[in-house]
Structure 1
Amino acid sequence: MAGEAASLPLSVVIPAFNEAGNLPALVEETAEALRGVTAFEIVCVDDCSSDGTVAALQALQPGIPELRILRHQSRSGQSTAIRNGVLAARGAWIATLDGDGQNDPADIPRLLQARDAADADVKLFAGWRVQRRDSGSKRWASKWANAIRTWALRDDTPDTGCGTKLFERAAFLSLPYFDHMHRYVPALMQRDGWKTASVPVNHRPRASGVSKYDNLGRALAGISDLRGVAWLIRRAKRTAIEEL
């Protein structure tokens, strides 16, 4: 499912799994934050939820015509949901938010302002949760994961796990795709020769439901992923070209 690239200035892609208690309010906040700021669409990608997430979204569509709903036919994970949302999106630029409601849609206009003030070769504006609203164990695990990743990849990004991001659609779709790639987008963008910037954003407590990640599972997957991304960076090769 391919979108009509650049027919809109902005698409907001929200991946979700079992977030019926959080997603409707998040979608409403997103529409409120962007109306009058830019033309946009909201693309929610449901990863086979079993709690009525899709029905809750469908109930919003009459009042939010900007809302589009995609649903995976099999569980595929967050990275695949983001990528499928971007593929279907019609925006030249993509903003992402996690479906749990902890990211604040009011930060999207701030990211747009940062983009407008930046050089054209900055293709990613990554949210930086300066004040995390998570459990102590989750904050501790993220702190160490970010430190190890920064040491290994030198991506100069303090918070790659933040779901609030703004990036150019074409630049994102040129990146190598793999499961869990959403945690390495800054390093992959830099591998392709683009600049990235980190922007402080708001972070909120989860209002409903439970996290879909556990620290051990994330760590085990992260070790393999980190080695793979480091290999991709080492093997990258770029050269300037000219048309004759």
Structure 2
Amino acid sequence: MISIVIPCRNEADNLAFLLDEIARAMAAMEHEVIVVDDGSTDATATVLADRASNDAPVRHLRHDRSAGQSAALRTGMIAARGAIVATLDGDGQNDPAYLPLLVARLEEGRPATGLVAGHRIGRTDTRMKQISSRFANGIRSRLLADDTHDSGCGLKALPTEVFRRLPYFDGWHRYLPALVLREGYRVAHVDVIDRERRYGRSNYGILDRGLRGVLDLFGVWWLRRRMRVRPKVEEVAHG
């Protein structure tokens, strides 16, 4: 089973059509959808209650207060029942049509591949946001050597067991490629078309991400340097 985790805060209008798109994209695959409601104050609960009443495979996990995107993703991944976790943002800019492709690429690359990440093309963000994102991705890529040019894309797929090995910190979701590489796995990428947000506005600001990201970046760099030996483990049977 594939567990699809959607972190969201006040995205009721976008969730309404996003859940329909996921159902169509994943119709041929056994799956569950875990919506992590990060302290929303809109009609998110109503939208999800309506889906549950129609027997849709949707689970609603709610934070009593907003804890951020990283915490919401972690909540969903911990609760996942599937062997593979796929993620996408709740704002509707990530197209669920790519989910089966991400899962297929992951399964093709197993066991060596530990993460398949989307790489957005045709970005619809503002010019300022694109410039800041390109600058931050360039610094991160040079310092961490994670061969990833778009760490901010919400479309990702990884084995649940790999996620459970990763260290957690606020902002962790932006460094998944580097953290997966640290565990000895490969990272693959899939080009995806970015879409415009239909309703509402982003809950994450450029300056907020930039200022917090500097400390996170050096923290991940330190973590990677502190794991220099990765022994091969095998169980030896006796008797």
Return the TM-score normalized by structure 2. Answer: 0.95
2:95 matched to which residue of 1? 104
Pairing 1:14-33 to 2, within 5 Å after superposition: 14-33=6-25
Would the alpha carbon gap of residues 64 and 144 (structure 1) be closer, same or farther in structure 2, given more than 3 Å must change? farther
The answer on whether the counterparts of 2:83 and 2:159 sit within 8 Å (CA) in structure 1 is yes
| Aligned residue among 195, 203, 207 for 1:204 | 195
Structure 1 runs, 4 residues or longer, greater than 6 Å off: none
Return the TM-score normalized by structure 1. Answer: 0.93
Deviations 1:147-206, CA, capped at 9 Å, x for gaps: 000011000011111000011111011100111100000000000101110110121000
Tell me how far apart the structure 1 counterparts of residues 84 and 214 of structure 2 sit (CA, whole Å): 30
SS in 2 for 1:210: coil
Pairing 1:38-49 to 2, within 5 Å after superposition: 38-49=29-40
Output the amino acid matched with 1:46.
D
1:4 matched to which residue of 2? none
| Aligned residue among 156, 160, 166 for 1:175 | 166
Tell me how far apart the structure 2 counterparts of residues 31 and 170 of structure 1 sit (CA, whole Å): 25
Tell me how far apart the structure 1 counterparts of residues 100 and 108 of structure 2 sit (CA, whole Å): 13
| Aligned residue among 78, 94, 105 for 2:85 | 94
Q: Which moved more, 1:233-242 or 1:137-146?
A: 233-242
Deviations 1:215-239, CA, capped at 9 Å, x for gaps: 1111001001001000101111422
How many residues are matched?
235
Q: Which moved more, 1:106-115 or 1:58-67?
A: 58-67
Gaps of 5+ in 1: 1-8
Shift, 1:119, TM fit: 4.2
Tell me how far apart the structure 2 counterparts of residues 110 and 187 of structure 1 sit (CA, whole Å): 22
Would the alpha carbon gap of residues 242 and 166 (structure 1) be closer, same or farther in structure 2, given more than 3 Å must change? closer
1:153 matched to which residue of 2? 144
SS in 2 for 1:178: coil
SS in 2 for 1:150: helix
| Aligned residue among 38, 53, 66 for 2:57 | 66
Tell me how far apart the structure 2 counterparts of residues 114 and 42 of structure 1 sit (CA, whole Å): 20
Pairing 1:127-138 to 2, within 5 Å after superposition: 127-138=118-129
SS in 1 for 2:142: helix
